[in-house]
Structure 1
Amino acid sequence: MKLAVIGFGNAGGKVADRIVEYEAETGRALCRFTAAVNTASIDLEKITHIPRENRVLVGQTDERSKGHGAGADPELGAELARQDRAEIRRFLDGVPLHDIDAFLVVGGLGGGTGSGGGPVLAGILSEQYNEPVYGLGVLPSEDEGGRASLNAARSVQSYMDQTDGLVLFDNDAWKEGADSVESGYERTNHEIAKRVVTLLGAGEYDGSTVSENAMDSSDINRTLAVGGVSTVAYAEAAVDESTRRQQGLLGRVRSNGSDGTDADSATKIHSLVRRAVQSRLTCPAEVESTERALVVVSGPPEELSHKGLVRARQWLEGEIDSVEVLAGDDPRPSSDTLSATVLLSNVTDVPRVDRLQEQAVDAQSDIERQATGREEAITNLVTDAENRLDPV
C-alpha cells in the first residue's frame, strides 16, 4: 500500500518520523509523502526524517498559541487547525495523488494538538480527496491523569467520525517498569513503526521477490473498510541456519511453494500467526469480537509456505467466527527474521476503551465540580462577610 503519512501534534509527528526511518532501515517502499503538523514550533524541530518543507506550523498568529502549542486543550487544537485550513491545503498540494492508495493521519490522543487537530485534518482530507483516510491514534497512559483520559475518549469519537478506520496503540499495554519517559516513548514508537511498515508495506514492489500470495492495497482497504477500531498483532522468530546459508548464495531462484510447503515451514508459520494473535496487541481486545482480519507473513522466501498460510487463515477464521480473513506473504530475501503481522479490524470488545470512557466521565465531573467550587471560593475571598463593601 502506498501512503501519504501525516503526523499531527508532538506524538503524531514523532511516530510519523519513526515510520519514515524504519522504512528506510528495512528497504521498504511505503511512504510516497510524509508531513508533520504542529501548533508548537519547538516540537517540529525534533523531527529528523520528514523533509523540512513538510513540517507545518499552524496557529502561529493566534494569540492563544503563537506557535507554543495548544496547552493540552483539544478544543483549541481543533480551532487552530480550522483557522489555518488554507495553510493545510497548501502543503497538501504536494501529495502525489496519482501514486498513493490512502492517507494515514497519526496523532497522540491525550494532548491538545493531535487529539483535536488530527480529526480536523482527517475531515479536510475526506472532503478534498477520494482516497480512504485512516487514523492511527496513540492512547495515553493512565498515569498521565484524568485530563489526558478525557481528551482521548473524546478524540477517539472524533477520529472514528472523520476516518474510514482507526488503528489504536495503547501506551499502557507497552509500558515497562525500567523505562524512563523518553526511552519508553522511543521504544513504543519503534514498535508502532515496525507494525505499520510491515503490515501496510506488504505488496509494494521495491526490488524484493514478488510472491504469488502477495498482498496488495485492495486487500488492506477491504479489511479496514468496515471502519471502527482496529488493533494489530505481531510476532517474529529467527530464521533457520539453513536459510542463513542459502541467503549467501547469489543467483538462487525459488518460486513460492517449492521449498516452503514442507511440514516444518507450514508448522512454523501457523505457530507464529497463533503466537502473534495470542500475545500483546497494539491495543488489547477480545479477538473473537473482530469482524475482519488480514495476515501478512514476512521473511526469506525459503521460509515461506503457502500451506502454512492456509492453515493460519483457517485457524484465525475459527477464532473470530468469520470467513472474512485474508492472508498473504511478503518475501524479504535478506531478512534474518520471519514475522507475522495480523490486522484485526472493527473489534468491538476493547476493555481499554471502556475504561477510558469511565475515566473520562469521572474527570469531566471533577472538572465541573472544581470549577463551581473555585468560583465560590473566589467570591468568598473578595467579598466581606456582611457584604457591605461595593467594588470601586
Structure 2
Amino acid sequence: MAEFDFEQPISMEKMRDYRLDRIDEQMKNDGLDCIITMRVDNVRYLTSFRPNSPNLFYYFRYAAVKAVGDDPWALVASGDYDRAMTYMPWLKQKVKPLPMDPMLSVARFKEVFSELGLTKGAKIGVDEMGFQLFQVFKETFSDYEFVDGRNTFARAKAVKCAEEIYLIKKACAIAEAGTQVAIENLRPGLTEIEVSAMIHNEMVLRGSEGGHTHPTQVNSGENAITLVRFPTERIIRNGDFVLMDVGCCFNGYHSDYCRTVMAGNPLNNEQKKVYTAVYDATMAAIEACKPGALTSDIDKASRDVLRKAGYEKFWYFGVTGHATGICLQEEPIIGEASVNGEKPWIIEPGMVFCIEPSVHLPGVGGVRIEDMVAVTEDGFELLTQTEYENRLLLK
C-alpha cells in the first residue's frame, strides 16, 4: 500500500497483535494450551504469511503452531522458506521448512513442540489436518490430548479490528471496480467468459491477489437459474438476467458481493417482480444487522420477504449470507441455523457479513443481490456501493 503525507496508513503490526490477542483469549476460553492449523487462511491469521497458490499442491504444505502467550511458529513449503525468513521479521525466525511427505513433516512438529516446552497432558486444538497425518500424530504424540480447534479459530476471527475492516473495504472497492467495467460494457452477444475476463483483469490491475478467492462467477439466462457458478461460453442474449458474483483478496482479506443486471431490455413483468423481491429481501436483512440481534433475526427478515412474494421454495438452498474476512466464507453462516436447527450467533460490533438472498425461477431467471456490511456500535456500515438495476424495481 502506498503511503502519502496526507493520510495515515493502517498499522499492520497493530493488526497482527490484535489477531494474536484474539486467538489467545479464545484458546483460554476453550481450555487449550496450544493450537495447530493447516488451513492457509488460519496460517495467515496467525503469521501473516501469504501462501503460494495452495491449490496447486497435492497435500497440506503450510502450518502454524501457537501456544498460549507465545509467538506463533510458521511451517512453510521449502520454496517459501527464504521468503519467510527474509521478509517477515515479526516471526522472529520462528520458521521451519515443512517436508512434502506428510510422514516426514511429523518430525518438524516434534521440533516445534519441544521449542514450546509442551508438557504431558497438554491440550492441543487442531482445526484441519489430513486423516493419515492425524493418525500418525496421535500415535507419535500420545502424551498430548488433541481436540477440535475449529470453533476456537471461528470465534477468534469473527470480530474484526479497524485495520481488518479497512482492508476488507479495499477489497470491496477493487471488486466493485471490476464489476463496474463489466456493467458499462455488457451487451447481448458477449459470452459469460468475456464478461468474467473484464472483471478479473480489472481487479488484478488494481491489486487483487490471484488464486486466493473464488473464480469470478458470471452466469446468464438458464445458467443463472441452475447457477452453474463458473463462466461458460454461453452467449448472453437480450432479456437475460446476468448474475455477477465477484470477490477478490487484498492483503489477505476478502470481498464477496453480487449484482444481477439485465442484458438489453426486460422481456416481461415477472422479471421485475423477482428482482424487486430479492432487492427487498436483501435490504430487510441488511437492516437487521445490528448489535445484540441474532443471526436468525437476519435470516428471518429476508425469508419473510421472499415468502410473502411467493418465492421461498425457489431460494438458493435457503442460506441468507455468511461472515467474511481472512477467509472468503467464515462463520457464522446466516440461514443454516434456520435450516438445520443450529444455535444462532449473537451479532457483535466488528463482525462483517455478506448478505446474499437469491431466487432462481425456472422460465424467468436467477437473481442474486449481495452486499457486504460491517456491524458498528449502533447499527451497520454498508461496504459495497455499486448501484442496483433500478429499472427493474417495481415502483
TM-score, normalising length: structure 1? 0.25
Which is helix-richer, 1 or 2? 1
Return the structure number with greater relative CO, CA threshold 8 A, min gap 6.
1
If you compute each CA radius of gyration, which structure gives the higher value, 1 or 2? 1
TM-score, normalising length: structure 2? 0.25
